[in-house]
Amino acid sequence: MVAILGYSRDQIFAAVRDMYSAVSRAPDDGFHFPVGRPAAEALGYPSDVLDRLPKSSVEAFAGVGYPFSAQAIQPGDVTLDIGAGAGNDALIAAARVGDKGRVIALDLTRAMTRRIRAAAEESGVTNLSVLEASGECLPLADGSVDSITSNGALNLIPDKRRAVAEIFRVLRPGGRLQIADVVIRRPVTVDCSDDPRLWVECVVGATVDEELLAMFQDAGFEHIRVVRRLDYFSHSPSAQTREIAASFDAYSVELGMQRAAQAPSAIQHWSRRLNPMRGLRSLWRRGAAGVASLALAVLTCYGTLGALALLAAMGAGVGLNEGLWATAIALFAVLTVAAVAPGWRYHSNVGPMVLCAVGAAVICYALFVHYTMVVELIGFLVLAAGVGWDIHLRRRKQARVLGLKTAADY
Ligand SMILES: C[S@@+](CC[C@H](N)C(=O)[O-])C[C@H]1O[C@@H](n2cnc3c(N)ncnc32)[C@H](O)[C@@H]1O
């Protein structure tokens, strides 16, 4: 949610509609993502399944995985396809649910909903209805569907928590979800809020993989399984897209899960969301672990001194185990070096790590060899410079691959 604060939801919707209207109008035009039958086959759609679908649907396939690998759809189901696109998955689902079931294909883009209607008519499918709506606000009653499928849509939806809450709401208790979506391992940390084009043209809208799983867990889904991880972007015809994907460690994932009998209580929900381990992992992924370790080192050093001075002023004499105190500071300083080190692989500049190592060495010298406050302070400043440099280089690399600004401007 934080990542979209600066965005206009309408701008994102407009960019999505433009992009997928273009896919519907001319699927062969060449997009930055794989489209059509070769794309579907590369993602694992069996040839005989594709053979049974109308050509008009298959040619505009734009999914990112094969969600049916999670096997969530059963005969007789009322099934919803969110972001149905040209309708391939909806048509496959219509065959799976059979005459006793029915499928609702929902998409934001009118050109796509028209395509689905035409394809259903062409193939004589009568158990499929079409809705033009957003996944953030499903026009369906609570608990009205047995299973949901979605392929490549969630990463395009601005408010993902709301979309997941909607999925939970419309699924009946025990209902099943299969989903394929794009995820990233390295979050976007540069500000691209004024460019909704990036939502549809690259991975800016995608969620960090474990945060996506956590989002479903928070909403009340259980038995969450990662069925497959796919190197989806290696199929992209665009070298720039492949570079962006590599920079954010993007891939696609197929998930299967079940809606719990009831929604988690507010306590369960917030205790999961405020889990400190989640916070630490998020800091690490955002390249902010160096800042956190540096802050802990500074706090342990000057914060302890400040607290002792305050206690002394209040008349409470508290002793300080200097060895323990110095070891803790040194540990956090070394941790800062370790947190900055992975940046070397990312931005290919060893400078920040070397600077941090020098800073940590100076601090350790002051703590364990010959203490002077000035030397210790210089050590902290050098350490801080290394951390700041690393953040700058990480952001500059992201800005460059996203084409936000030239490396020199940033
Ligand atoms: C990557 S395409 C995948 C289409 C289809 N699932 C397939 O496999 O070919 C994403 C689709 O999601 C739709 N979409 C994007 N944002 C949406 C939203 N907020 N609500 C509903 N559909 C949305 C787009 O219009 C587009 O058709």
Fill in the amino acid letter for 155: N
* Res 305: pLDDT: 87
Are residues 70 and 225 in contact, defined by beta-carbon separation less than 8 angstroms?
yes
Give yes or no for residue 157 CB within 6 A of ligand 1.
Answer: yes
Coil/strand/helix, residue 227: strand
Residue 171 burial class via C-beta count within 10 angstroms: exposed 0-12, middle 13-18, buried 19 and up = buried
How far is the C-alpha of 293 from the C-alpha of 296, rounded, in Å?
A: 5
Determine the distance separating the centroid of ligand 1 and the alpha carbon of 85, expressed in angstroms.
5
pLDDT for 101-111, tens place per residue?
999 999 999 99
pLDDT for 158-195, tens place per residue?
999 999 999 999 999 999 999 999 999 988 888 775 56
- Find the angle CA(343)-CA(349)-CA(352) to the nearest 5 degrees: 65
Give yes or no for residue 91 CB within 6 A of ligand 1.
Answer: no
Fill in the amino acid letter for 28: D
Determine the distance separating the centroid of ligand 1 and the alpha carbon of 84, expressed in angstroms.
6
How far is the C-alpha of 82 from the C-alpha of 85, rounded, in Å?
A: 9
Determine the distance separating the centroid of ligand 1 and the alpha carbon of 20, expressed in angstroms.
8
* Res 339: pLDDT: 94
Determine the distance separating the centroid of ligand 1 and the alpha carbon of 330, expressed in angstroms.
51
Pairing status of strand 145-151 against strand 171-184: parallel
Number of H helices, E strands in the chain: 18, 8
Are residues 168 and 259 in contact, defined by beta-carbon separation less than 8 angstroms?
yes
How far is the C-alpha of 249 from the C-alpha of 27, rounded, in Å?
A: 27
* Res 288: pLDDT: 87
* Domain boundaries of the chain, sorted by first residue: 2-277, 287-402
How far is the C-alpha of 103 from the C-alpha of 77, rounded, in Å?
A: 8
* Widest CA span in the chain: 87
* Res 382: pLDDT: 98
Are residues 233 and 183 in contact, defined by beta-carbon separation less than 8 angstroms?
no
Give yes or no for residue 61 CB within 6 A of ligand 1.
Answer: yes
* Res 154: pLDDT: 96
Give yes or no for residue 152 CB within 6 A of ligand 1.
Answer: yes
Give yes or no for residue 24 CB within 6 A of ligand 1.
Answer: no
* Res 7: pLDDT: 61
Chain centre distance of CA 46: 28
Chain centre distance of CA 51: 33
* Res 171: pLDDT: 98
Positions of the chain with pLDDT under 50:
1-5, 407
How far is the C-alpha of 409 from the C-alpha of 405, rounded, in Å?
A: 6
**CA atoms within 13 A of residue 270's CA, in its CB half-sphere:** 2
Candidates 3.40.50.150, 1.10.1370.30, 1.10.3720.10, 3.10.105.10; CATH matching 2-277: 3.40.50.150
Give yes or no for residue 62 CB within 6 A of ligand 1.
Answer: yes
Tokens 């689902």 map to which residue?
93
Q: Which residues pair with 128 in a beta bridge?
A: 103
Give yes or no for residue 33 CB within 6 A of ligand 1.
Answer: no
Give yes or no for residue 83 CB within 6 A of ligand 1.
Answer: yes
* Res 2: pLDDT: 32
178's enclosing H/E stretch is: strand 171-184
- Residue whose Cα lies nearest atom 5 of ligand 1: it is 85
